[in-house]
């Protein structure tokens, strides 16, 4: 959504900075134990709203008193798909990645939960999987079989270039800054080419 004049509309969401990257369509299990995040998850469940996952660039997930991590400006909305509380004070949450967003401004609340004004990033143009990327999709199918259905999206789309690229970026042992760059790229063909080069270099293709 854009405002008159072409400016993107913003919404305010809570953020969960993590040392990981969540991609659209991906699954991210979380163990939540800090009170601020337990309350955030509870509030999002009640309101049926997502929160934002952003990659930490400096600092720690469990911040020391008075310290907050710095994080990337592009993140992904996380829909809560499953919640379990095996014991008091601990939540096991499974989230699903939705749309990407851009952080426009952020601030910490009194409980040190970070909230941000964000605008949606447009989904990249749809692209059928190119023929020269078929080996990447075949490798991904093997990985999906090994990790099991509980750890992989239930709706496969091996003929979709964006979906294949996002899933490979999730499962490959890439440095976090590279994973983040794979999220920020808005061209599925470019993402597949970069990932293909990495797999060739590693002797996996």
Which pLDDT score, from 0 to 100, does residue 3 have?
47
Which pLDDT score, from 0 to 100, does residue 149 have?
75
Which pLDDT score, from 0 to 100, does residue 25 have?
94
Quick: pLDDT tens for 111-128. 889 999 999 999 999 999
> What CATH superfamily is the domain 131-201?
BPP1347 like domain (1.10.4060.10)
Residues 121 and 26: their CA atoms lie apart, in Å, by 17
Residues 155 and 26: their CA atoms lie apart, in Å, by 10
Fold of 11-120: 2.30.130
pTM above 0.85, yes or no: yes
The secondary structure of residue 186, as a DSSP letter, is -
Rg (CA), the chain: 18
Segment-wise mean pLDDT, segments of 10 residues, the chain, 205 residues: 56 95 95 92 95 92 71 97 88 95 93 93 93 95 85 88 96 93 96 94 82
Which pLDDT score, from 0 to 100, does residue 2 have?
47
Which pLDDT score, from 0 to 100, does residue 65 have?
62
Residues 82 and 25: their CA atoms lie apart, in Å, by 15
Which pLDDT score, from 0 to 100, does residue 142 have?
92
Domain boundaries, the chain: 11-120, 131-201
Q: Is 66 exposed, middle or buried (0-12, 13-18, 19+ CB in 10 A)?
A: exposed
Which pLDDT score, from 0 to 100, does residue 59 have?
81
């Amino acid at each position: 959504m854009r405002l008159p004049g072409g400016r993107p509309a913003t919404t305010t969401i809570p953020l969960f900075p993590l040392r990981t990257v969540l991609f659209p369509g991906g699954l991210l299990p979380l163990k939540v134990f800090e009170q601020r995040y337990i309350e955030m998850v509870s509030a999002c469940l009640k309101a049926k709203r997502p929160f934002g996952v952003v990659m930490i660039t400096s600092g720690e997930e469990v911040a020391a008193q008075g310290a907050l991590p710095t994080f990337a400006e592009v993140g992904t909305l996380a829909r809560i798909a499953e919640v379990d509380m095996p014991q008091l004070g601990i939540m096991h949450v499974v989230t699903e990645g939705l749309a990407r967003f851009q952080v426009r401004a952020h601030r910490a609340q009194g409980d040190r939960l970070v909230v941000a004004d964000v605008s949606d990033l447009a989904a990249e143009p749809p692209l059928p999987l190119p023929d020269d990327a078929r080996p990447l999709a075949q490798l991904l199918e093997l990985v999906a079989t090994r990790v099991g259905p509980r750890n992989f999206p239930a709706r496969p789309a091996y003929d979709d270039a964006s979906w294949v690229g996002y899933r490979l970026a999730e499962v490959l042992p890439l440095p976090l800054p590279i994973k983040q760059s794979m999220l920020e790229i808005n061209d599925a063909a470019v993402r597949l080419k970069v990932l293909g080069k990495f797999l060739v270099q590693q002797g996996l293709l």
